[in-house]
Amino acid sequence: MKFRLIPSRHRFTFFQRQFVSLLFLSLLVLVLVSFIFVYLFKVHIYDEKTEELESAGDTISRLILREEVVPELTLSAYRTVLRERGISFIAMNAKGQLYFKDQRTTPPTFRSKTFMDSLLAQIPKLQSGKALIVEESGPDPYLVYPYELKLKHSDGKNYLFVMSPVKGMTQTLSRVYEMVVLAGIVVFVLAMIVALIVSRNMSVAVLSIRQATRRIADGRYDTRCDLTRTDELGDLSRDFNRMAEQLEFTSHKLERIEIKRRRFITDVTHELRTPLTSIRGIVEGLKSEYITGHDEQVKYYGIIEQETLRLIRLINELLDMEKIQNGLITLRREHYPLNDLLEVLKESFEFLIGEKDLHLEIDCPPDTMIYGDYDRLTQILINLIKNSIQFTSHGTIRMTARQTVNATELSISDTGRGMTAEEMEQIWDRFYKADPSRSKDRSETGLGLSIVKRLMEAHDADISVSSVPGEGTTFRLRFPVKPVESAHTGEMPAQDKSESGV
């Protein structure tokens, strides 16, 4: 059994296709122009000769009509002029009967009976002002111009045929053909050069875009195509650059998200491992009866409880983020007295504030109402207050509220470390930590402010931040107000400090 490879098909490059196309088009145009030029040249020569024969025919017809009996005597004076010009003529009726034939100037071919019969056959097809071309009479073609005569002694139609060779026609056309071929070769060479330049120019542009595309495919999203053309290839280059910019932006964004995700996984792993390790150690100690004293057992049970709450808070934050992202949270919005809510939160944070040289102040009119879901409002304020406590070592945290016609406005300001403009752009991102070292101490996951942002959006509320490094930060919240008559005022639920994470 014999095997043989299938012959591969020749692959035409873009340059080759463009070059061959332009060359073929140039050759086609050159051939068409050459044929048109030669045709028009021949028509011009025949038209000039036809005018000459027409003029001679008018003169001959007038001389014949003047003396119909003996036309030879009448034409004897004009025959010398005709002979010099190479013009001869024949007069006959529609039946082929000759009235007059110029034997001296008429070539032998035109004296034959065959030629006379062919002229007779052309009589029904004759058109005024149109000459007949006879190309078999010698080296040069002959023109035969027909002219209708009206003789007095004849009732039928009579015709005068004036004939003359187009002298030098063959030689002239040969020279014209040579000039056309020579000009065609020159034009063809120039067309090849132009086609080569144009095709090469387009091929270089396409090759540049192709190389840039390959670099993009290799992951080098900073690649740009530097074409400065104004045609469609230039538009393609600019569209390619816009695509590359978008890919680069998306790539950097994904890289930042990936870094935050890895950091988050590391932090979550640490946060889960640390309390679980502590709990496991304490449980092992209790089981092995290393911890026997009642006071020590109460102490270690408290540590287990604290670490358990820590795990619950972390898991709750993760679940909240997942619910918010998937739109699974349901808000039970009612009107609540904002001052009472702030007072409850102040009491909840007394322990954390007591650990630092901090003061928590409230400036809220007693009649100020806020419209929203109580649990989610509490979650928003807890995250913001904890954030201020975390980044404020001493000074004051102030909560200020006021009621307007359309909204309830609340601001939480502190005198902490503040934030830079770059940090303020990223604080709403998931897993972002302005100070990872402090966050680890407080077991922060970087989800708090991201949850706040999304809960505010769920309430159709706005939140903004302003900060000065070294002076402090202010969060401004603006909740829309629903008319009191369309919603009842809710009662303050009991605050569960364990679920709030404080």
Per the structure block, which two tokens stand in for 241?
């650059």
Q: What integer pLDDT is reported at residue 499 of this predicted model?
A: 37
Q: What integer pLDDT is reported at residue 498 of this predicted model?
A: 34
Tell me the torsion sign for CA atoms 364, 365, 371, 373.
positive
Over the chain (502 residues), what is each successive 10-residue block's mean pLDDT?
A: 54 69 81 85 83 82 65 62 76 72 61 70 68 66 78 72 77 81 83 79 81 86 81 83 88 84 75 78 81 79 82 78 74 90 88 81 91 90 89 88 91 89 79 56 65 88 90 92 53 43 34
In Å, how far from its chain's centre is CA 447?
39
Q: Looking at the chain, which residues constitute the CATH 3.30.450.20 domain(s)?
A: 14-172
Instruction: Read off the DSSP letter of residue 471.
Output: T
Q: What integer pLDDT is reported at residue 127 of this predicted model?
A: 64
Per the structure block, which two tokens stand in for 106?
């008429």
SS3 content of the chain, % helix, strand, coil (to 5): 55, 15, 25
**Which DSSP string corresponds to 84-102?**
HTT-EEEEEETT--EEEE-
Q: What integer pLDDT is reported at residue 411 of this predicted model?
A: 93
Residue 116: name the closest of 135, 139, 140, 91 by CA.
91
**Residue 163 bridge partners (DSSP):** 88, 144
Q: What integer pLDDT is reported at residue 364 of this predicted model?
A: 92
Q: Which fold has domain 14-172?
A: Beta-Lactamase (3.30.450)
3-class SS of residue 407: strand
| CB-based contact 164:52 (threshold 8 Å) | yes
| CB-based contact 399:476 (threshold 8 Å) | no
| CB-based contact 434:427 (threshold 8 Å) | yes
Burial 407-428 (b: 16+ CB within 10 A, else e): bbbbbbbbbbbbbeeebbeebb
Per the structure block, which two tokens stand in for 7?
């012959």
Right CATH for 331-500 from 3.30.565.10, 3.50.50.60, 3.30.160.20, 3.40.50.2020 = 3.30.565.10
Q: pTM of whole model > 0.85? A: no
Which CATH architecture is the domain 232-314 placed in?
Answer: Orthogonal Bundle (1.10)
Phi (first) and psi of residue 479, to 5 degrees: -100, 135
Residues in the chain: 502
Q: What integer pLDDT is reported at residue 485 of this predicted model?
A: 45
Helices 232-287 and 169-217: angle between axes, nearest 10 degrees: 10
